[in-house]
Amino acid sequence: MSTVALPADEAEHAVDRTVIGENLSLPLFRTLSGVLAGHPYLKVVVDRAESTWHLLDTAVHPFHVDYIATRVLGMDVAELDATLDEFNASVYMDRGRRFLLGVLSLHTDGDTDGRERTFLVLETTEADTMHGELLEFFYSFVRERLDGRLPLLLKPANHAQEEELAAISEQRVPRILGHQLFGTRTRTPLNPGEATGRLHCFRTVEEYQAAAGGLGWSDIVAMPCLPDDVRRVAGFINTMPITPLSHTNVLASGWGIPNAIVRDLDQLVEKDGLDGAWVRYRVREDEITLERMEEVPELRAPAWHQQRIRLEPPLLEDAPVLSLHRLRGTDRDRYGTKAANLGELHHVLDSRTADLTAFHGRPRPPRENLYGHLAARLGLHGQPSAVELRAAAASFVAETVEAPEGVALPFSLMHRFLISSPALQQGIGKLKMALELDATDVLDSLCLQLQQLVRNTPMPDSVAQEITRACRAPLAAGGRLVVRSSSNAEDLPGFSAAGVYDSVTAVHGAGQLLDAVRQVWASLLSPRSVRLRHQVGISSDETYMGVIIQAYVPAVLGGVLVTCNPTRREDFRNVYLNCSPGSPEQVVEGRILPQQFLYNTVEGGGRTVALGSSSEPLPAATRARLADLSLTGRLLQSHFGAPGVDSPLDIEWLLTDQGGFRLVQIRPYAL
């Protein structure tokens, strides 16, 4: 056994307790370990050439690669930085590699007799391509050097490792999958942040609705699953599992408020008397806490309370009903953001002139860029030129996804409808007066009356004819139509409006089509949407609704991906993808708990975070196709991620029964 000595200048500041060659006991594990996601963990390096292992002092050595390069191989940091990608490949991808890198984490659970069981889990990093023979060797090497009383399980770090382990007996390599290990976590971060407020616990939606009118910016709402129409408050807590890509978490992200799953909230509330108490609520990647405050704190209204968002004035002069492929991103002031973005997507896929490599061109110190990684993912060899790389990226995206067909109704049709009715004009006038006087006590009733008027007022013949004429072919075919909202008051910095406006997904015939259009228009005047816009200073005079009308496309799989890791903002590698059978709406509306994945868009590979309501994982071939979809989302971020390519996207997609991916919505993801 030996330990590592620090250089003299470093020894003044820290004692390195790294151990080489010693068997690992639980006391030694606790001495060397740190804490990650609430679990003690220890980094290990197996040196196959020396037939020994290194147990790293976590406080001194946060990175395996730095330790191996500088302490084992004698490299200096500058030399490592200059060859970092090549060095990473030698330790994570070389089939005959000398070093095997992993993490041991300590876990507890209850066994079948109700007793607590302590066990260790061994895993590699997510980008490691260790094949089955190496995985078995790694497990056996570590197992032989552990206290025999400690059970050890191997957790495959990615889908490829899962497939490699499938051919190896569980008796030889006992294992646990990531979604099995973390699927029942007591506390799970959804949106990081911190808030101080009064905690209100609700057991049912009915309880929440009865109290919702009295909730404000200084409250924290806790319940099994928050409804999509939740009020803007200081923080959210869910006591049942939910996906980070739900409407409510997108709202939490857009509003900059903490959100987490806290399954033991009842125990915390009972123990510390938290319901109705002032609390300090913190959500971090590795810790979620609720701390009771004995005195009422001095609070300042949040920044959004004084926020004033200004819209570009909508263009209300007569504009034609257009096919989506004829729109561009600049048409958002006439057709709304969603329609304009889908039109821009058509342009990107058809023209193939957009630069989709900008995200990979950003410096990621010590790397100058990620072009080499992108070239490898696209199957290019050597060092392709910038022109070759851009062409390959554009072709990859166009071959992976398609944009939806459909037509877009301009704001001018809604404007013509509203001014055609004196009753509607009178109702709009009353609502504007109430907003100017900040008469929030009458807002809800005025909005509901106005919505009812919109739904029941006949359209002018000219407006109705324009809509039905544009949809003549699908109406004649008798197929199902989908009618979606496309406002100018959504997907804005500081105002996402996720789930705020209506879509109608089962429309048949001209009569239902006109009714659905009116329902989408009416959603612009719902009490919730009016209140949310009023809170951030969006003028009702400048708020309009466009409409997208599409033929229904059957889907075998649908979902949402965001081109970031929602719970770890500094992670530039991974995108988060959710899916479930059928349409994407099931994911964002929380009707079922979706399968959840993280896909690495730099080195490649993916891992399953949760199986959700599914009893079986997706086939390997489908997961591989989702990896291509994830890289496509990352490449599109380079075009749509203004004002910077690091601004993530929120993409709704479906896998059609014909086997192709179709993107049905693309918008900024609120961060």
Q: Are residues 88 and 141 in the same domain?
A: yes
Instruction: Give the residue, 449 or 185, on which the prediction is more confident.
Output: 449
Q: How are beta strands 116-123 and 606-610 bridged, if at all?
A: unpaired
What are the structure tokens assigned to 529, written together?
């949407």
Given 269, 304, 339, the domain boundary residue is 304
Length of the chain: 671
The 8-class DSSP code of residue 70 comes to I
Residue 451 domain-assigned (yes or no): yes
Neighbours of 438 (CB within 10 A): 9
Phi, psi for residue 609 in degrees, rounded to 5: -90, -40
Residue 622 domain-assigned (yes or no): yes
Residue 181 domain-assigned (yes or no): no
Q: Are residues 73 and 140 in the same domain?
A: yes
Residue 182 domain-assigned (yes or no): no
Which pLDDT value is given to residue 12? 45
Please report, for the domain that includes residue 268, its CATH number.
3.50.30.10
Which pLDDT value is given to residue 89? 93
Q: Are residues 341 and 458 in the same domain?
A: yes
Q: Are residues 510 and 624 in the same domain?
A: no
Judged against a pLDDT cut of 50, whether residue 1 lies above it is answered with no
Number of domains in the chain: 4
CB 592 within 8 A of CB 615: no
Q: Are residues 55 and 71 in the same domain?
A: yes
Neighbours of 516 (CB within 10 A): 23
Residue 463 domain-assigned (yes or no): yes
The 8-class DSSP code of residue 168 comes to S
CB 135 within 8 A of CB 154: yes
Q: Are residues 194 and 325 in the same domain?
A: no
Q: Alpha carbon of 9 to those of 2, 67, 72, 213, 409: distances in Å?
A: 21, 17, 19, 62, 69
Judged against a pLDDT cut of 60, whether residue 7 lies above it is answered with no
Judged against a pLDDT cut of 50, whether residue 312 lies above it is answered with yes
∠ CA 537-539-542, rounded to 5°: 145
Average pLDDT for 81-92? 93
What are the structure tokens assigned to 629, written together?
């979809």
Average pLDDT for 374-397? 95
pLDDT single digits (tens) 461-503:
999 999 999 999 989 888 899 999 999 999 887 787 888 999 9
pLDDT single digits (tens) 557-568:
999 999 999 888
Please report, for the domain that includes residue 456, its CATH number.
3.30.1490.20
CB 557 within 8 A of CB 610: no
The 8-class DSSP code of residue 645 comes to T
Residue 160 domain-assigned (yes or no): yes
- Which residue, among 287, 268, 239, 232, has the nearest Cα to 494 in the 3D structure? 232
**Full residue range of the structural domain in which residue 667 is found:** 553-671
Please report, for the domain that includes residue 572, its CATH number.
3.30.470.20
pLDDT single digits (tens) 14-26:
689 999 999 999 9
What are the structure tokens assigned to 510, written together?
């001209």
Partners of residue 46 on adjacent β-strands: 53, 100
Confirm whether pTM is higher than 0.85.
yes
- Which residue, among 218, 339, 329, 351, has the nearest Cα to 276 in the 3D structure? 218
Q: Are residues 491 and 356 in the same domain?
A: yes
Q: Are residues 536 and 418 in the same domain?
A: yes
Q: Are residues 454 and 515 in the same domain?
A: yes
∠ CA 264-152-603, rounded to 5°: 85
Percentage, residues of the chain above pLDDT 90:
72
Q: Are residues 124 and 238 in the same domain?
A: no
Residue 621 domain-assigned (yes or no): yes
What is the pLDDT of the chain when averaged over all its residues?
A: 91
Instruction: Give the residue, 324 or 243, on which the prediction is more confident.
Output: 324
**Sheet of 259-262, strands arranged across:** 187-191, 259-262, 235-238, 219-223, 193-201, 278-283, 288-292
Which pLDDT value is given to residue 613? 84
Average pLDDT for 166-189? 88
Residue 663 domain-assigned (yes or no): yes
Which pLDDT value is given to residue 6? 47
Which pLDDT value is given to residue 536? 86
Range in 2-6, 64-68, 116-120, 207-211 with the lowest mean pLDDT? 2-6
Judged against a pLDDT cut of 50, whether residue 406 lies above it is answered with yes
What are the structure tokens assigned to 189, written together?
């971060």
- Based on its alpha-carbon atoms, the radius of gyration of the chain, rounded to whole angstroms, reads 28
Which pLDDT value is given to residue 8? 42
Q: Are residues 101 and 207 in the same domain?
A: no
Given 145, 176, 207, the domain boundary residue is 176
Given 257, 278, 304, the domain boundary residue is 304
Which pLDDT value is given to residue 96? 94
Q: Are residues 524 and 393 in the same domain?
A: yes
Q: How far is CA 656 from the centre of its chain?
A: 22
